[in-house]
Structure 1
Amino acid sequence: MKLEGVELRRIALPLVTPFRTSLGTQSERTALVLKVVGDEGEGWGECVAEDEPTYSPEYLTGAAEVIRGFFVPALAGLDLNPASVGHALRHLRGHPMARSAVEMAVLDCWLRARRTSLTDHLGGVRPSVRVGVSVGIMETLDALLETVDKHLTAGYARIKLKIEPGWDLEPVRAVRETFGADVMLTVDANTAYSPGDIRHLARLDAYGLALIEQPFEPGDLHAHATFAARVDTPVCLDESITSAADAADAIRRGACSIINIKPGRVGGYLEARRIHDVAAAHGVPVWCGGMLETGLGRAGNLALAALPGFTLPGDISATERYYHRDITRPFVLDDGTMAVPTDPGLGVVPEEDALEAVTTGSEWIPAVP
């Protein structure tokens, strides 16, 4: 496959309700949507970097510059396949979310030309996957309980509560006492705590959580290992894991017993599969996290979550959880599960009018060797 060029769009999708974590509050999701055009057709990708470098060092404007100035020129003139993208970009350091977007679009194009679905290419084994929902930090406990009740009524298989200092023990206690011990409940700190908070966080053991996600800074595996040895609740890493090598190191050091895999964070679906394989070799369960993706990323994440090691419900909620209208067909919850797309490539494409309605800027980047 020879690359002819990339159409790069910046989009802004209003959220149904603002989503607050320890890193800040979002009322709309901005993203980059890529259309790769080659001699075998076209394919779509999505860059999930945020406007500001808070979750990771990447940010949206920087990702666009890297794709425009470095990634597209590096791929020009090459005979591309999914594996060759990483090889062609190996001399360029960092920027996993931008890499993931380019790889995703090339994968989609290449697989569509071969009439193969992404889930089949990755090794998916399930026609549908169990999914959970992430609940942001609320103004009041009453608002939290109302929101959790709505999601449980909808059928989500797992509830994840975002926490931060001052919003942790009490909301967890309220949800557990209100909805009972049978609800699969997890918490996610997004690095909001310091090692000095270990004794405080250990009190979460009392609430029968399925996991505690990323309490400390990404590079502090020692604190995570110390905490994991202190508590009975499994510790899950998110921001700390950016590659299969990271996953192997964290497991070896006892810093986690569960891993959240986000394709954008780790540089794409192929590296995500490698992390899955490393975790499976060590008996460590994984699940697929979310970055408020459009339907493009949602489709890809469902394909990934169909792999055998993804034994916990992921953050791949139904479209209506976040958007009144997405850029693709909506994804619908069915008894706590969502169907894995089986059409070639990602299995979905943007609806032209929906994409145009949310586009705030676009450009054509020719592939010039």
Structure 2
Amino acid sequence: MSIPIMQLKLHKLNMKLKEPFRTSFGTFQDKEFFITEVIDVKGNHGYGESVAFSSPWYTEETVKTSLHVMEDFLIPILKENEISHPDQVSELFQPIKRNNMAKSALEGAVWDLYAKRENQSLAKALGGEKNEIEVGVSIGIKPTVQELLDTIQESVDEGYKRIKIKIKPGWDLDILKAVRNKFPDLPMMADANSAYSLKDIGHLQKFDELDLMMIEQPLGSDDIVDHAKLQSELKTPICLDESIHSLETAKKAVELGSCKIINIKIGRVGGLTEAKKIHDFCMARNIAVWCGGMLESGVGRAHNIALTTLNQFVLPGDTAGSSKYWEKDIIKPEVVVENGIIQVPEQPGIGYEMDDTAMNEYVEWTKVFHF
């Protein structure tokens, strides 16, 4: 039975984070992105979200390139083909190289629509079994150590199960030591966003003293070879993020011994279908996975929640509550974290309603495509 899409809408939004978010590759506070919406003949609505940033810091994709690829290549493919299951979307998009975030934005909306048509939650449609998920929080680089410690204290008080701290050369070992001294038992990890090279092995080996859960993506964003060399010299597990953009790269990284943990981000790998394939492979190989965040609005967070219900997501992800980053989110109810736990919604699809008032406040324009 096909999924009869009648209309597709691209909504361009701009939302302001509560405070600037700093990483080793840049600082920003305004987040521009797309909400994708597909509507079937019965009036069901499915929603997805693009996660590319305005500048090509994280990957080569940007908000503008996502629009170009969706509008000129991917949406025409959806219009020309009949789809009976969301898994087909990634197959149809295969001839278009990379541009995974653009692909994911559209595929996610189809997944949500499919789940609603099947009258089941997106989590169940993906094969998830958890009713609740544990989550952590990602904390950007702060102007001072004291501000970082205060922010971590807030997150600890709120019950988050794990703290991720952004680092870069000059803001790393001493900072992490200060955190560890104040929070001796805190589950914490360091995220380098490719800020180091193999010349830093001696420096990175000192991180072994800090009892970190992992160091995320210390070396090049496309690298799996040097990470294997580094992992052989470290006791601390390496987690790969930017280097993993497909099942194929995940397999190669595991085979080489480049990492012991993989961060699965839906947008980075091209959508839920590919994310699930990577999860299944890691489960078979006993590689721990967790779901990373891209400062999503509630729609993207809802997709992350659904994915995290799969069994091999054994480490807390980055899906913090809406209020951690936004004054007002675009879904209702907003994503709420209680003592580091999110209850997985049972309603059909992503399990959250769109907040039309908030959408109207943030939407810059909408473009409609008729099928």
How far, CA to CA, are the matches of 1:119 and 1:362 in structure 2?
Answer: 28
Partner in structure 1 of residue 11 of structure 2 = 9
Q: What is the SS of the residue equivalent to 1:325?
A: coil
Contact 2:191 2:215 in 1 (8 A): yes
CA shift, 1:362, in A, is 1.6
- For residue 365 of structure 2, the aligned residue among 343, 361, 364 is 361
CA shift, 1:92, in A, is 1.7
How far, CA to CA, are the matches of 2:327 and 2:268 in structure 1?
Answer: 26
CA shift, 1:34, in A, is 0.9
| Amino-acid identity (%) | 39
How far, CA to CA, are the matches of 2:210 and 2:153 in structure 1?
Answer: 18
How far, CA to CA, are the matches of 2:34 and 2:224 in structure 1?
Answer: 32
List gaps (5 residues or longer) in structure 1: none
Letter of the 1:243 counterpart: S
Letter of the 1:120 counterpart: K
Partner in structure 1 of residue 151 of structure 2 = 147
Partner in structure 1 of residue 201 of structure 2 = 198
CA shift, 1:306, in A, is 1.0
- For residue 95 of structure 1, the aligned residue among 95, 99, 113 is 99
Q: What is the SS of the residue equivalent to 1:51?
A: coil
Partner in structure 2 of residue 240 of structure 1 = 243
Partner in structure 1 of residue 257 of structure 2 = 254
Partner in structure 1 of residue 65 of structure 2 = 62
- For residue 216 of structure 1, the aligned residue among 198, 215, 219 is 219
How far, CA to CA, are the matches of 1:84 and 1:279 in structure 2?
Answer: 22
- For residue 122 of structure 2, the aligned residue among 105, 118, 122 is 118
TM-score (norm 1): 0.97
- For residue 356 of structure 2, the aligned residue among 333, 345, 352 is 352
How far, CA to CA, are the matches of 1:17 and 1:88 in structure 2?
Answer: 39
Contact 1:5 1:72 in 2 (8 A): no
- For residue 277 of structure 1, the aligned residue among 271, 275, 280 is 280
Partner in structure 2 of residue 304 of structure 1 = 307
Partner in structure 2 of residue 37 of structure 1 = 39
CA displacement, residues 104-158 of structure 1 (integer Å, 9 cap, x when unaligned): 1111112101101111111111111110011110111111111111110111000
CA shift, 1:77, in A, is 4.1
Letter of the 1:215 counterpart: P
How far, CA to CA, are the matches of 2:247 and 2:50 in structure 1?
Answer: 20
CA shift, 1:218, in A, is 2.2
Partner in structure 2 of residue 127 of structure 1 = 131
Partner in structure 2 of residue 19 of structure 1 = 21
How far, CA to CA, are the matches of 2:225 and 2:110 in structure 1?
Answer: 38
Letter of the 1:86 counterpart: S
Contact 1:66 1:98 in 2 (8 A): yes
Partner in structure 2 of residue 227 of structure 1 = 230
Partner in structure 1 of residue 191 of structure 2 = 188
Partner in structure 2 of residue 321 of structure 1 = 324
TM-score (norm 2): 0.97
Letter of the 1:336 counterpart: G
Partner in structure 2 of residue 263 of structure 1 = 266
- For residue 85 of structure 1, the aligned residue among 89, 92, 105 is 89
CA shift, 1:345, in A, is 1.1
Contact 1:296 1:349 in 2 (8 A): no
Contact 1:2 1:77 in 2 (8 A): no
Letter of the 1:4 counterpart: M
- For residue 74 of structure 1, the aligned residue among 69, 73, 77 is 77
CA shift, 1:254, in A, is 0.5
Letter of the 2:103 counterpart: R
CA shift, 1:3, in A, is 2.5
How far, CA to CA, are the matches of 2:199 and 2:309 in structure 1?
Answer: 38
CA shift, 1:37, in A, is 2.0
List gaps (5 residues or longer) in structure 2: none
Q: What is the SS of the residue equivalent to 1:230?
A: coil
Contact 1:3 1:78 in 2 (8 A): no
CA shift, 1:366, in A, is 2.5
Contact 2:70 2:102 in 1 (8 A): yes
How far, CA to CA, are the matches of 1:108 and 1:155 in structure 2?
Answer: 30
Contact 2:15 2:31 in 1 (8 A): yes
Q: What is the SS of the residue equivalent to 1:160?
A: strand
How far, CA to CA, are the matches of 2:267 and 2:192 in structure 1?
Answer: 19
CA displacement, residues 39-88 of structure 1 (integer Å, 9 cap, x when unaligned): 24321110111101110111111101111111111111432221221222
Q: What is the SS of the residue equivalent to 2:317?
A: coil
